[in-house]
Amino acid sequence: MTASTLHSSLRHRSTETLVIHCGDFRFQGAFYEFLNGVLHVDENYDLMVIPGGPLSLALLERHSDDSRAAWKWVRYFADRHGIRRVVLIQHQDCAWYQEAPPGVHSPGALRQRQQEDLARISGLLKKSFPDVRVEAYFAGWDAEDRFTIEAFPL
């Protein structure tokens, strides 16, 4: 196997930020640009990349195994790294939402359901971790396929 030497070096300082977003390949560059260029996290954050992103924290009844695992990971990061800030990012045209079982969302109101879930998840996080600041964002694209990410008021 050939080794590659990279320009990156090991970070020795800790982080207080946890980011949770979807793994949809179309958004990865935009998420990275937003996190580092707009939110200025300076590549210093824990990251949970899972289908549907923050939705996994909201599926308490229907997908309890997925939800329990996601909460376990959040608690791990919170305890191990002293997380004080959680950034949640949902996105337009999310296949995980579109393929969710009936009753999880109404197909005609996808974005509304995503926003409702962000609000619910934020509330659950604040209840579980009172000292943690939660931020929620919605990513999409415009008519020219340029990405936009807007803050969701909590």
Please name which of 34, 56, 58 lies closest in space to residue 45, comparing C-alpha atoms: 34
- In sequence order, what are the beta bridge partners of 89? 21, 137
Q: Which residue has the tokens 């599926």?
A: 59
Q: Which residues of the chain have pLDDT under 70?
A: 60-63, 100-108
Q: What is the mean pLDDT of the chain?
A: 88
Angle at which helix 64-81 crosses helix 110-128, to 10 degrees, equals 50
Q: In this structure, how many other beta carbons lie within 10 angstroms of the beta carbon of residue 69?
A: 13
Q: Please tell me the CATH code under which domain 17-152 is placed.
A: 3.40.1050
Tell me the pLDDT tens digit for each residue of 47-69: 999 988 998 888 755 557 888 89
Give the C-alpha separation, 1 to 110, whole Å. Answer: 45
46 touches 15 (CB < 8 A): yes
Backbone angles phi, psi at 49, to 5 degrees: -115, 110
In the chain, DSSP finds a helix count (H) and a strand count (E) of 4, 5
Tell me the pLDDT tens digit for each residue of 16-34: 999 999 999 999 999 999 9
Which tokens go with 72? 């376990």
